[in-house]
Structure 1
């Protein structure tokens, strides 16, 4: 599928779920919704990966939090 020509520069597609979302990574000044969320641990970051949508980022933060606390997610 070709990207839509009508998508704004802040529009992105989540590499995990495929949903489109607004990304402020390239906005000046940097004003992205993700800055209000807790940070992921450095071992969970991959600079080669694209940004996650709000839902997938929240899920990844939850997984990292549970993994760090020793809790069992099953």
Structure 2
């Protein structure tokens, strides 16, 4: 079994979504490097899109909570 085929051992801090992806140096042809670059950019774009969608859903939920609250309601005691 070559070193490339050895599965990576899981880490305790395996939250790779917050870490930038680093591609190994490419030794293939120019077209292969271009395809790898396009794939990397697509993955990064998809991650960014997912983050934006999550933020939009969170904002929508906050807006809905604000609308559900009666207009005259206050958190503190009324006089």
Q: Which has the larger radius of gyration?
A: 2
Return the structure number with greater helix share: 2
TM-score norm. by structure 2 comes to 0.28
Q: TM-score, normalised by structure 1?
A: 0.29
Whose relative contact order is higher, 1 or 2, with alpha carbons under 8 Å and at least 6 apart? 1
Greater fraction of residues in strand: 1
